[in-house]
Amino acid sequence: MEIIVAKRTGFCFGVSRAIEEVKKVLDEKKEVYIYGELVHNKQVMNELKELGATVINNLEEIPEDSNSKIVVIRAHGVTKKEKEVLENNFLEVVDMTCPIVENLVKFVKQKQKKNYYVVLYGKPDHPEVVGLRGNVEEEKLLITSSPLEIKVKKTLIVSQTTMAESDFKEFIVGMIKCNSFSEVLIKKTICSETIIREQETFSLSKKCDLILVIGGKHSSNTEKLYNIAKKNCKRTFHIEKVEELEQIDINSSDVVGIVTGSSTPEIELERVINFLEKFKS
Ligand code: SF4
């Protein structure tokens, strides 16, 4: 068996700094609140909860003793209103919104001030997009994942940071075809981490017999990597934990490619590699 692991694995920069910050607060205070799931990964969330973290999913869940507690905002960011309410209720708010997401929000705001109508290629219910919508002028924003005819002439097209680059390109072509803009500005706002992982997944899926995509079952970036690999490699499997490998037919002659989502801890990858090592003997 040959095992080829993607070069870019483990937490992305944005997720990693948010987790480190939560652990730092836990070290000092022994407890912390997190606004929304920090990462779409059950194992990581359970570990943080055991250390003293509590997740609150919305403003209604703000605890009674919040004025003596610290809350951390996750990498996806939050709406302006949510941030204000958190600041008014908690002793301290540690904002770990990923700088790449922050840059996207800033850029949209700037361009809206210059009268651009903004088309955001993305999923309306993704937390990053919900956060962005709550920080910009909503009446000058359209969120869509399929091209649409719009009645405005001066337009900016951007993407949610975690969408697939190839799909964004197709979306842009579709938008140009069904609209007659007088001015259109296109900015690639997809995170480079996302692009690198997609490219690696694509090239591994071309040369491997089996692809294992490791990541949370609710992680949209992991699901996206699975879909990219599945197009070229029929034996592609999305697993969250090493135990799931027991259900998969693996041959000792297989060339196995492994990729991970940006919220998958390295330890999960190591467990999978250790399991596969058995097929080498
Ligand atoms: S995927 Fe990119 S934008 Fe999203 S949290 Fe990670 S580093 Fe930030």
Q: What is the CATH number of the domain that holds 52?
A: 3.40.50.11270
- Same-domain status, 84 and 114: no
pLDDT in tens, 260-272: 999 899 999 999 9
pLDDT at 40: 80
pLDDT at 153: 78
CA angle centred on 247, ends 242 and 230, rounded to 5°: 85
Which of 190, 218, 237 terminates a domain? The answer is: 190
pLDDT in tens, 59-98: 999 999 999 999 999 999 999 999 999 999 999 999 999 9
Which residues are catalytic, by number? 128
CA dist 234 and 216 (Å) reads 20
- Same-domain status, 245 and 270: yes
Q: Is the CB of 93 under 6 A from ligand 1?
A: no
Q: Is the CB of 98 under 6 A from ligand 1?
A: yes
CATH number of residue 136's parent domain = 3.40.1010.20
Q: Which two tokens stand for residue 120?
A: 């955001």
- Same-domain status, 201 and 274: yes
Provide the domain limits for residue 224: 2-10+193-280
Q: Which two tokens stand for residue 121?
A: 């290629």
Task: Using most ligand atoms within 8 A of CB, pick from 72, 161, 221 the residue to mutate for ligand 1.
Answer: 161
Residue bearing the CA closest to ligand 1, atom 7: 14
Which of 190, 221, 252 terminates a domain? The answer is: 190
- Same-domain status, 197 and 274: yes
Residue bearing the CA closest to ligand 1, atom 5: 14
How far is ligand 1, taken at its centre, from the CA of residue 205, in Å?
23
List, for the chain, all residue ranges whose pLDDT scores fall below the cut of 50.
none
pLDDT at 280: 80
Q: Where are the beta strands (DSSP E) in the chain?
A: 2-5, 32-35, 53-56, 70-73, 92-95, 117-121, 141-144, 154-159, 183-186, 210-214, 236-239, 255-260
pLDDT in tens, 152-174: 879 999 999 999 899 999 999 99
pLDDT at 246: 94
Q: Which two tokens stand for residue 7?
A: 């070069």
- Same-domain status, 93 and 123: no
Task: Using most ligand atoms within 8 A of CB, pick from 9, 11, 15, 76 the residue to mutate for ligand 1.
Answer: 15
pLDDT at 42: 84
- The number of distinct structural domains making up the chain is 3
- Same-domain status, 274 and 200: yes
How far is ligand 1, taken at its centre, from the CA of residue 222, in Å?
13
pLDDT at 219: 83
- Same-domain status, 120 and 148: yes
Which of 77, 97, 117 terminates a domain? The answer is: 97
- Same-domain status, 104 and 185: yes
